[in-house]
Amino acid sequence: MTRYQVSRRHIVGTFALLFASSALIWGCKTAGGPAGTEIPVGEFASLTGGTATFGQSVHNGDVLAIDEINAAGGVLGKKINLLTEDDQSKTEEAVASVQKLVNSDHVVALLGEVASSRSMAGAPIAQLSHAPMITPASTNEDVTKKGDYIFRICFIDPFQGQTMARFALNSLGKKRAAVLTDVKQDYSVGLDEAFKHTYSTSGGAIVSEQSYSTGDKDFHAPLTSIRATNPDVIFVPGYYTEVALIVRQARELGIDCPILGGDGWDSPELTKGAEKEFNNTFFSNHFATEDPDSTVQNFVKKYEDRYHSMPDAMAALGYDAARILVDAMKRAGSTDSAALRKAIAETKDFPGVTGHITIDPNRNASKPITIIKITEGKFHFAQRIGPEGEALTPFQP
């Protein structure tokens, strides 16, 4: 009997403690806010692990933008303090990173991640604590459906697929397409479905549908089946590790038609050792370093001066994400979360490096797409296509 009472008192005590501590945390969150002369902004990125090159590029872009803004006097009379957490390319680490940034660093907004899976893992926490989050490069449709505090400044998967279908039909004039999809990646499946739908409803024919899984090394089998149907263009919406092998093996099998892909191709590793095989391939991307546009050229110069390497699309998107966030802070006139959220949602025609960006009612970006042509292992600007599928520049074959 006595023991029961003791344990009950224990339970009550524990609950009281829990309440007290949660009240404490809540109190900090609401009453605290950004104190002092700095605005804390959180960034979670994959600086190490499987997609380290993506995370590092975005981080470089973020840092370049924030340093530039701070050097010009900051925003709202304060400097921005960028707090970065490395999620090691792991979903569970992304959750832990966002929790730390939001709960103990009390950041006013979040920048991150590249991988859609990790953005989706971090988004519910950002939404719950009303910290606006801008993902620079997560293209999966569902990311911004996590809540009204979640935004993105890149285009979404269906748009890439649609654009590549129109590009194949209108710019290349190819009417028979085969697709080779990575069934383990939502990204790849999303692009594939949009491509097939647009292609077949706009006058083209899908002659072969083959698939593979992330991590595969041997693609001779699906490629042999594709070859038997004699397509005049192949769409491979995968990531660069597998695509590097697919294109090589396709050429080995004597398939020499154009091969198309999406932004998952964008890596300096893509064409290493296979420069010849990658001739006559195209992919959709967020930006091209060769784009004659002056905003792009300014950015490329600043980036090169600082990091002594050419920026990739991820760096450009990181740079744009950070600048759109600061632009919203300026327009909101405060870092209050509701006002900041509203200002980000009202972003219109922001002159970004990756094109003019307008945030639509679904908190996605409406913006142009850049098509890259690969020649002798080098990426060249081929065409820019607008949000409605209209050609903004003529195709440069």
Partner 1 sequence: MQLLQQLVNGVSLGAIYALIALGYTMIYGVLRFINFAHGDVFMVGSYMGYFAATVWVSHFFPVGTLPNTILVFLLAMMICALLGATIEFLAYRPLRNRPKLTVLITAIGVSLFLEYTGQLVFGPNPRGFPAIIPNAPLIHTASVTINTVQVVVISVSLGLMIALRVIVMKTKIGTAMRAVSFNQQAASLMGINISRVITFTFIIGSALAGAGGVLYASQYPSIEPLMGILPGLKAFVAAVLGGIGNIPGAALGGLIIGLVETFVSGTGASTYRDAIAFGILIAILVFRPSGLLGKREVEKV
Is residue 252 within the footprint of partner 1 (CB under 8 A)? yes
Residues 365, 283: Cα–Cα separation, whole Å = 20
- Residue 319's contacts (CB-CB under 8 Å, 6 or more residues apart) are 61, 62, 64, 65, 299, 303, 311, 353
Is residue 205 within the footprint of partner 1 (CB under 8 A)? no
Question: Between 248 and 306, whose beta carbon lies closer to partner 1?
Answer: 248
Question: For residues 343 and 331, is the Cβ–Cβ distance under 8 A?
Answer: yes
The distance of closest approach from Cβ of residue 247 to partner 1 in the complex, given in angstroms and rounded to an integer, is: 12
Among 163, 210, 281, 366, binds partner 1 (CB under 8 A): 210
Is residue 21 within the footprint of partner 1 (CB under 8 A)? no
Is residue 272 within the footprint of partner 1 (CB under 8 A)? yes
Question: For residues 60 and 315, is the Cβ–Cβ distance under 8 A?
Answer: yes
Question: For residues 155 and 190, is the Cβ–Cβ distance under 8 A?
Answer: no
Is residue 360 within the footprint of partner 1 (CB under 8 A)? no
Among 216, 232, 290, 336, binds partner 1 (CB under 8 A): 216
Residues 234, 179: Cα–Cα separation, whole Å = 6
| Pattern 27-66, partner 1, x by CB under 8 A | ---------------------xxx-xx-------------
Residues 27, 8: Cα–Cα separation, whole Å = 28
Contact region with partner 1 (CB under 8 A), list: 6-14, 199-207, 239-247, 332-340: 239-247
Question: Between 92 and 105, whose beta carbon lies closer to partner 1?
Answer: 92
Is residue 244 within the footprint of partner 1 (CB under 8 A)? yes
The distance of closest approach from Cβ of residue 306 to partner 1 in the complex, given in angstroms and rounded to an integer, is: 23
Is residue 220 within the footprint of partner 1 (CB under 8 A)? yes
Edge-to-edge strand list for the sheet holding 350-352: 350-352, 355-359, 365-366
Is residue 287 within the footprint of partner 1 (CB under 8 A)? no
CA dihedral over 255, 274, 215, 168, signed as positive or negative: negative
- DSSP annotation string for 172-200: S---EEEEEEETT-HHHHHHHHHHHHHHH
> Where does this chain bind partner 1 (CB under 8 A)?
48-50, 52-53, 183, 209-213, 215-218, 220-222, 224-225, 227-228, 241, 244-245, 248, 252-254, 269, 272-274
